[in-house]
Amino acid sequence: MKISMLAKRPVDLAGYRYSRQHYLQTRCRINYLVERYLSIDILSARLADLPTQFENPHQRPWEPIDWQAITPEQIIGVDPALFISVIAGAAEIETPIRAYARESWGYLQSAHPPMARFMGGIFTTDGSPLEVGLWEKEERQHGPAFRKIYQQLTGEKLQPKPNSVEGYQASENLREDVYKHAISRMTTEWGATSVYLWLMAHSTGALQQAIAQPMQDEVNHLAKMWGISYWAFGDSYITRLRGTSKNLISLFKHHQGERTHSNDMLQLTYALHAVELTFTFVRVMVQLHRWNQTLLPGDLEQLFGQPQRDIRD
Ligand SMILES: [Fe+2]
Ligand SMILES: [Fe+2]
């Protein structure tokens, strides 16, 4: 009797869909998403795929998205205005990808040419692009996807203002430059993964399926960048990342505060959901640390060879 009742419970990509979703139910859904999309096996497989991508770059295929089927009713357990403001924020953070890719290429080209090609492609000596990097190819789909989602939800076109990109700035110390750059890229991938997971915990149907595509790209990049950075820099890298987590969360809060300052009600709901977002950031980081414990130096060297002396301590 009980079993047949359970079988009828509505489920989606984040597990059980609660009829009333509050903080604890959202946490359950976030945990479910982490176990499903950031399992140790998935993270290891995404990392092990990196040397293959150096040899033969191949875009991660997206599952088809039914854009027309996306409706505001698929937003659950959160004020739709807040959800939509996070979608708008995502579209904004995702641009301008070309400048981000070029910046990564600048930092990586002498330290690790295959990774530079993976991120930023290949350029001629006069700086014109010969090949688009795989990371850029995957990332450049995200901004348009979030703009489409925004349009479906609001009926309005979003005009995002792109972030400014500092660009490649070399110092005397190549190791430190690459190190800082790796930390900043990792932080972005981790932030994007966490925010998109939170959006998936608060959505269902076609809307949730659409967000699942960029989210899985972010997990893919996160695993690859984490793994190769751990290979290059070892434990100090992990310690330093920990310090950036607080900054990221406060930056995100600040950003959202600016966007919604004219609407007190929205700010209040945002404050309530900041606890959930913080939970998601921490939950993802805990999972990455769990995974990191399974990464053995011997396995990493088998994937990437011996780390270069000028990059490692
Ligand atoms: Fe992205
Ligand atoms: Fe990303």
Ligand closest to 213 (CA) is: 1
Claim: this prediction has a pTM higher than 0.85 = yes
User: What was the pLDDT predicted at 259?
Assistant: 44
Cα(3) to centroid of ligand 2, in Å?
41
Domains (ranges, CATH) in the chain? Answer: 14-304 (1.10.620)
User: What was the pLDDT predicted at 258?
Assistant: 44
Cα(301) to centroid of ligand 2, in Å?
25
Cα(141) to centroid of ligand 1, in Å?
8
User: What was the pLDDT predicted at 6?
Assistant: 56
Cα(175) to centroid of ligand 1, in Å?
26
Cα(94) to centroid of ligand 1, in Å?
5
Cα(101) to centroid of ligand 1, in Å?
12
Q: What is the 3-state secondary structure (H, E, C) of the chain?
A: CHHHHHHCCCEECCEECCCCCCHHHHHHHHHHHHHHHCCHHHHHHHHHCHHHHHHCCCCCCCCCCCHHHCCHHHECCCCHHHHHHHHHHHHHHCCCHHHHHHHHHHHHCCCCHHHHHHHHCEECCCCCEEECCHHHHHHCCHHHHHHHHHHHHHCCCCCCCCCCCCCCCCCCCHHHHHHHHHHHHHHHHHHHHHHHHHHHHCECHHHHHHHHHHHHHHHHHHHHHHHHHHHHHCHHHHHHHHHHHHHHHHHHHHHHHHHCCCCHHHHHHHHHHHHHHHHHHHHHHHHHHHHHCCCCHHHHHHHHCCCCCCCCC
Cα(264) to centroid of ligand 2, in Å?
31
Residue 8 amino acid letter: K
The pLDDT tens digits for 214-261 are 999 999 999 999 999 999 888 777 777 776 665 665 555 544 444 444
Ligand closest to 218 (CA) is: 2
User: What was the pLDDT predicted at 198?
Assistant: 96
Nearest Cα neighbor of 14 from 280, 22, 77, 31 is 31
Residue 158 amino acid letter: L
**Phi, psi angle pair for 122, to nearest 5°:** -125, 135
User: What was the pLDDT predicted at 253?
Assistant: 52
User: What was the pLDDT predicted at 125?
Assistant: 80
Are residues 212 and 154 in contact, defined by beta-carbon separation less than 8 angstroms?
no
User: What was the pLDDT predicted at 63?
Assistant: 96
Cα(197) to centroid of ligand 2, in Å?
13
Cα(211) to centroid of ligand 1, in Å?
11
The Cα–Cα gap between 274 and 263 comes to 16
User: What was the pLDDT predicted at 4?
Assistant: 55
Rg for the chain (alpha carbons), in Å? 20
Cα(214) to centroid of ligand 2, in Å?
8
Cα(112) to centroid of ligand 2, in Å?
20
Nearest Cα neighbor of 295 from 246, 230, 232, 207 is 230
Are residues 203 and 30 in contact, defined by beta-carbon separation less than 8 angstroms?
no
The Cα–Cα gap between 159 and 139 comes to 19
User: What was the pLDDT predicted at 264?
Assistant: 58
Cα(140) to centroid of ligand 2, in Å?
9
Mean pLDDT by 10 residues, the chain (313 residues): 63 94 95 98 97 94 97 96 92 86 90 93 85 94 96 91 78 86 89 95 98 98 94 80 63 48 57 84 93 92 80 46
Ligand closest to 145 (CA) is: 1
Cα(10) to centroid of ligand 2, in Å?
31
Cα(214) to centroid of ligand 1, in Å?
6
The Cα–Cα gap between 187 and 129 comes to 26
User: What was the pLDDT predicted at 128?
Assistant: 84
Residue 170: exposed, middle, or buried by beta-carbon count in 10 A (0-12, 13-18, 19+)?
exposed
